[in-house]
Every structure is written in structure tokens, then in C-alpha cells.
Structure 1
Amino acid sequence: AHGELYVARNCGAAAGVIVIRQTGENTWEIMNCSVAPEYRRQRCGTALVRHALDIIRSKGGRYAEVGTSDASPGPMALYESCGFQVSGVINNHFTDNYPEPVWDNGVQCIDMIRMRADLSLREEGVPHAAQKA
């Protein structure tokens, strides 16, 4: 109810969605990023995350945060490629906060990996690692 939803479309069909929400004066969080199975591995997720970061920056945000499962190496790699770094771990997040086990690609989610990007360190649309010195 308090987030902003953005939809990536291909020929009218939803290819992916991302939800962002302001969580502090200079901080926004990606609350959800999901890509339809047929559009995975086609840079749709990267485009969604970069679009969200551009929106956050345009709203004056300095930091972007995200939480993802310890069972999700693909999303972690995606966020790292967009300038996020691991900032912490919430042990047992999924086992303590969900009544039923949460599974990702056949692996039970237990811990939440928290990641953060400092948007002042990257140029618009360019990951931090690709910036010129």
C-alpha cells in the first residue's frame, strides 16, 4: 500500500515487476523484483533494478537497499552487478517470520541477506564498478 509498482512489458504482456518504497529520509528499498520465467536471463531483471535506481536517485534518494534469500545466488549476483554490496545478514528471517517453509529453486530459504547501494557513488545507469576514476 505504501510502495510504487513498476511493470516491464513486452508486447503488452508483463515481463517483470519491481516495487520500491521509501524507508528513510535518503533511503529506499526494493521490496520486490520478479521476472516472468520466460524473460529470465534476458537482462529484464537488470533493466528493472537499474530503472528503480534511476527513479530513487531522481527522488533525491542516496541509498537503495534490498533483502534477498540466502538460497538465491542469481538475485544476489544481479544486485551486485547493479552496485549493491552485502551489508548484513538477518539470521533465520524466513523460518522465524513465515508460518510455512519458503523455498527457492528447491532450497529452503533461512537467512535474509541485506544489500545496500550508495547511489552517490555511481553515475546514472552505470554500475559503480564500471565508473571511470
Structure 2
Amino acid sequence: MHIRELNPGEPLPLELLLLADPSERLVKAYTQRGHCYVGEIDGAVIGVYVLLPTRPDTMELVNVAVAEHLHGQGYGKQLVRHAIAQARRHGYATLEVGTGSTSIAQLALYQKCGFRMTGIDRDFFVRHYEEAIYENGMRLRDMVRLSLDLYSH
């Protein structure tokens, strides 16, 4: 997989981004403020992630998605590792990520990549999303926050 930053004027891979975040309004808002990277195989976009500067020395990984038919093949881990390298390359000290408390595979992925849990934003998905979200047979309510110290890894 080849990973590159989306070119100015190039259309967002919205279908992929919506796999990780069902709110088109929120996706469009943070992609305008952040840096969108795409993963390609033979010229076809199969993965995406977005890095968003949030505070001095801190960047957030706000969306990571891989085409559904390619789940479980290591592409998500490649995207997360690339995001870590990009945040480090740009001089950030901390990379944060938030994911659903019901997002079992994503929680495991982030921890395998070195992220540690830092807190829970209770009812985040109730407050910020108009429609209820269900995942792994459970209603998604809370966001689990994780972070990675970029200088200790």
C-alpha cells in the first residue's frame, strides 16, 4: 500500500471516511481543518486517515478507515503507523485518538500501536450525533480517549 497526502482540490474519499464517522457534516468540517492521507493499491484508494492539529504540540487522529472488504489484513495498522510517523515528522509531542467504547477492534488496534487510554467522554455520541449508532450489538454512547507520547516510542 502506498500512502500519500490528498492533493489540494482532489475529492475526499467520503465513502471511506463515513465508514469511521457516520456524520457527513462532522467529516467535512474536520477534513477542512486537517490533513487527509489516503492509502492506495494499484491507484485505487482503499484507506484513509485524517490528522488534525488540536493544541500546541498535540495532533489528533480523527478518522481511520479501510475499505470493508480489506478489513483484517493489516492496512489499518499501516495507516495508524504512518499517522504516527507524520505527527512525529511535523514536530508534535503527542498524538491523540478517540474511538467508540463499542469499537472493540479499533481499541485493540490503537493499543497495539502504542496508544494508552486516557479517559472516557461519557455520552459523546449521544450529544454529537442526531441518530443512535449501534456497533457490535450495542448502542454507542461513550468515546474512549487514547494518546501516544511521540518522543518515548
| Structure 2 length-normalised TM | 0.77
The residue that corresponds to 1:63 in the other structure is 94
Give the distance between the partners of 2:143 and 2:89, measured in 1 at CA: 28
The alignment partner of 1:86 has SS state of strand
The alignment partner of 1:57 has SS state of helix
Please state if 1:72 is matched with 2:100.
no
Task: Tell me the amino acid that sits aligned with residue 80 of structure 2.
Answer: V
Give the distance between the partners of 2:147 and 2:118, measured in 1 at CA: 6
Query: Which of the numbers 32, 35, 48 marks the counterpart of 1:4?
Result: 35
The alignment partner of 1:23 has SS state of strand
Unaligned runs of 5+ in 1: 123-133
* Displacement of 1:106: 3.7
Give the distance between the partners of 1:20 and 1:103, measured in 2 at CA: 25
Give the distance between the partners of 2:85 and 2:70, measured in 1 at CA: 22
* Displacement of 1:30: 0.4
Task: Tell me the amino acid that sits aligned with residue 24 of structure 1.
Answer: R
The residue that corresponds to 1:91 in the other structure is 122
The residue that corresponds to 1:43 in the other structure is 74
Unaligned runs of 5+ in 2: 1-31
Identity among equivalent pairs (%): 37
Q: Deviations over 1:16-66 (max 9, x none)?
A: 100001111110000100111111111100000000110000000110000
- Please report the RMSD computed on the Cα atoms of aligned residues, expressed in angstroms: 0.9
The residue that corresponds to 1:127 in the other structure is none
The residue that corresponds to 2:63 in the other structure is 32
Give the distance between the partners of 2:116 and 2:80, measured in 1 at CA: 14
The alignment partner of 1:53 has SS state of helix
* Displacement of 1:107: 2.6
The residue that corresponds to 1:101 in the other structure is 132
* Displacement of 1:98: 1.2
Give the distance between the partners of 1:110 and 1:12, measured in 2 at CA: 37
The alignment partner of 1:41 has SS state of coil
Aligned positions, number: 122
